[in-house]
Amino acid sequence: MPAAQPFTPAHESWSWTDDVHAYEVARDPSLFDVAASIPPRPTGGPGRPAEHPMIVYVFYAALAGGVVGSCTKAAGWIRQPQHWAWLKQVWAEYGIELRDNGPCRRTLANGLKAIRPHVPAMAEELRQTTLELAQMIGICVDGDDTSASPNRRNTVVADGTVPATRIKKSTYQKRLENPRLKKDGTPYSLPDARKHVEGGGHEVLGEKFVLLEARLSDERNTRVILDVRPCPSSTPGGEAAVATEAILDLRHKTKKLHSAIYDGAFHSVNIDPLVKAGMIVISPPHKGTTKPRFLRKLTKCQCGGTHDLWTVRGALCVQEITDTGDINYTMLPERKVTFNADVNDYRCYLSARLPCGWLHMERLDSTRADAKTKFKRTEHLRQHPPVTPEYKDKYGWRSDTESTHSNLDRILYNNRMIVDNVIDQQTILIGHAIARNAITRTTWLVRNAGGTAAAAA
Ligand SMILES: [Zn+2]
């Protein structure tokens, strides 16, 4: 039987075997926090008393979704006498008492079902506890309240992902058309799923989730998954709306979150509230914005003349006619983005140099007049349009979401979601976040405490 402590990586080159990873997850503060958000079933109350403390089921989800990648393997790991004895010893230090024998697979599966009503509370707790982790390692802690050119550590990247269903698309279709019956006469259950078209036109059958994350630096294992939210088909505005709400929520928790990066699924309806919340949004404008659009005639310039202002792919431009009679659109130089605090929110301005030499200020968040004319300001005027160095430097940070999604696929058995029910899927993703973040936490403690994670805890 292993003693309680020796599995902590002593240095960075320690390899993250499943056992090492599982032992770190078992002692991760986020695991305890998320488990504590589930009320224990009272022994004298209605329903059967819980067979095991709630942390057992959350740990099961974290192992299955973030370490070993399957429910069977996770149950097997927990059931092994030496692992169970180790958990019993470690969790006793936190005042959690375990029975002498570990749960069987069916008990764990039923536990996952029993905690379904508490998944929203678990998700909220995950947001709290992961923000604490992020701030502990240096994400969203410094900088001005608003920042025109945010650092990586003050930036959140988000994207939707659709883990493929446990069964293949063809099997799903067959069972849908011709329900096969089990020996007891009941039909095989079908996983919760919808068809989604991913980037590149690739069709995936599954449930969609939005993941939010931030990263301290280019250094390995400095990523924190901050939020996991489902995107039910009924959500107006879909994935982008869910992401917007999640980012706003995070911004309300910390003003040190300065910017958000999202793919082309972000429309003005998503960007505007974030800009008004004082944030920078970096996201590619739609194809339609490539065609020059007349913004307005500037009649009150201090030079005494007038200027026609245009927008092209998010940039504020002026028209220039060349010697040969061609029309060019030139982005106004010396761009500077600033925020002014309003009563309830922020106003965002662009200052840029006109051809006459005077500076011009243009609002970048929507105005009351825009509402009347239905002008989608945040679609046509971007804080950092694609031609700017800021966009070119920072949009690439979005690739972190792709690594996280491919990491999730790689861990999950057969690269497929391992549970069918959509709420259980969210539980597995919450578990995945806990398990991935445990690597970040341990790595940080090892790097910064100069010793083992357990010694630093
Ligand atoms: Zn002028």
Q: Which residues contact 4 (CB under 8 A, 6 or more apart)?
A: 86, 89, 90, 93
Per-residue pLDDT tens digits for 69-124: 999 999 999 999 999 999 999 999 999 999 999 999 999 999 999 999 999 999 99
Q: How far apart are CA 98 and CA 102, in angstroms?
A: 8
CA of 360 to the centre of ligand 1 (A): 8
CA of 315 to the centre of ligand 1 (A): 18
CA of 362 to the centre of ligand 1 (A): 14
Q: Which of 16-20, 82-86, 253-257 has the lowest mean pLDDT?
A: 16-20
CA of 442 to the centre of ligand 1 (A): 57
What integer pLDDT is reported at residue 438 of this predicted model?
96
What integer pLDDT is reported at residue 299 of this predicted model?
92
User: Which amino acid would we find at residue 295?
Assistant: L
CA of 301 to the centre of ligand 1 (A): 5
CA of 335 to the centre of ligand 1 (A): 16
Q: Which residues contact 37 (CB under 8 A, 6 or more apart)?
A: 118, 121, 122, 124, 125
CA of 318 to the centre of ligand 1 (A): 11
Q: How far apart are CA 313 and CA 269, in angstroms?
A: 17
Per-residue pLDDT tens digits for 166-201: 889 888 888 888 777 778 877 778 889 889 887 778
CA of 306 to the centre of ligand 1 (A): 6
CA of 329 to the centre of ligand 1 (A): 17
Q: Which residue has the higher pLDDT, 108 or 453?
A: 108
CA of 134 to the centre of ligand 1 (A): 47
Q: Which two tokens stand for residue 33?
A: 């926090």
What integer pLDDT is reported at residue 259 of this predicted model?
95
Per-residue pLDDT tens digits for 355-372: 999 999 999 999 999 999
Q: Which residues contact 322 (CB under 8 A, 6 or more apart)?
A: 328
* pLDDT average, residue stretch 257-275: 96
Q: How many CB atoms lie within 10 A of CB 376?
A: 17
SS (H, E, C) the chain: CCCCCCCCCCCCCCCCCHHHHHHHHHCCHHHHHHHHCCCCCCCCCCCCCCCCCHHHHHHHHHHHHHCCCCHHHHHHHHHCHHHHHHHHHHHHCCCCCCCCCCCCHHHHHHHHHHCHHHHHHHHHHHHHHHHHHHHHHCCCCCCCCCCCCCCHHHEEEEEEECCECCCCHHHHHHHHHCCCECCCCCECCCCCCEEEECHHHCEEEECCEEEEEEECCCCCCCEEEEEEEECCCCCCCHHHHHHHHHHHHHHHHCCCCCEEECCCCCCHHHHHHHHHCCCEEECCCCHHHHCCEEEEEECCCCCCCCEEEEEECCEEEEEEECCCCCEEEEECCCCEEEEEECCCCEEEEEEEECCCCCEEEEECCCCHHHHHHCCCHHHHCCCCCCCCHHHHHHHHHHHHHHHHHHHHHHHCHHHCCCCCCHHHHHHHHHHHHHHHHHHHHHHHHHHHHCCCHHHHC
Q: CA 108 from chain center: how many Å? A: 27
Q: Give the torsion sign (CA, 267, 270, 273, 276).
A: negative
What integer pLDDT is reported at residue 60 of this predicted model?
98
What integer pLDDT is reported at residue 456 of this predicted model?
42
CA of 298 to the centre of ligand 1 (A): 8
What integer pLDDT is reported at residue 212 of this predicted model?
97
pLDDT over 70, % of the chain: 92
The tokens 């046509």 sit on which residue? 380
What integer pLDDT is reported at residue 457 of this predicted model?
43
What integer pLDDT is reported at residue 235 of this predicted model?
86
HSE-up (13 A, CA, CB side) for residue 154: 21
Per-residue pLDDT tens digits for 197-232: 877 788 899 999 999 999 999 998 999 999 999 998
Q: Which residue has the higher pLDDT, 401 or 451?
A: 401
Q: How far apart are CA 31 and CA 61, in angstroms?
A: 10
- Residue 53: pLDDT band (50, 70, 90) is very high
Tell me the average pLDDT of the chain. 90
What integer pLDDT is reported at residue 453 of this predicted model?
47
CA of 302 to the centre of ligand 1 (A): 6
What integer pLDDT is reported at residue 322 of this predicted model?
85
Q: How far apart are CA 355 and CA 88, in angstroms?
A: 73
CA distances from residue 325 to 127, 318, 322, 350 in whole angstroms, order as listed? 57, 15, 5, 30
CA of 314 to the centre of ligand 1 (A): 22
Q: How far apart are CA 104 and CA 84, in angstroms?
A: 12
CA of 370 to the centre of ligand 1 (A): 24
Residues flanking ion ligand 1, Cβ below 5 Å? 301, 303, 354, 356, 358
- Residue 128: pLDDT band (50, 70, 90) is very high
Q: How many CB atoms lie within 10 A of CB 99?
A: 12
pLDDT at 7 over 60: no
CA of 310 to the centre of ligand 1 (A): 15
pLDDT at 455 over 50: no
HSE-up (13 A, CA, CB side) for residue 303: 12
Q: CA 195 from chain center: how many Å? A: 21
HSE-up (13 A, CA, CB side) for residue 22: 24
pLDDT at 10 over 80: no
Residue 57 · residue 37 · CB < 8 Å:
no
pLDDT at 1 over 50: no
CA of 371 to the centre of ligand 1 (A): 27
CA of 312 to the centre of ligand 1 (A): 20
pLDDT at 341 over 50: yes
What integer pLDDT is reported at residue 3 of this predicted model?
43
Q: Which residue has the higher pLDDT, 46 or 425?
A: 425
CA of 349 to the centre of ligand 1 (A): 18
* pLDDT average, residue stretch 125-154: 89
Q: Closest Cα to residue 355, out of 314, 291, 308, 389? A: 308
What integer pLDDT is reported at residue 318 of this predicted model?
96
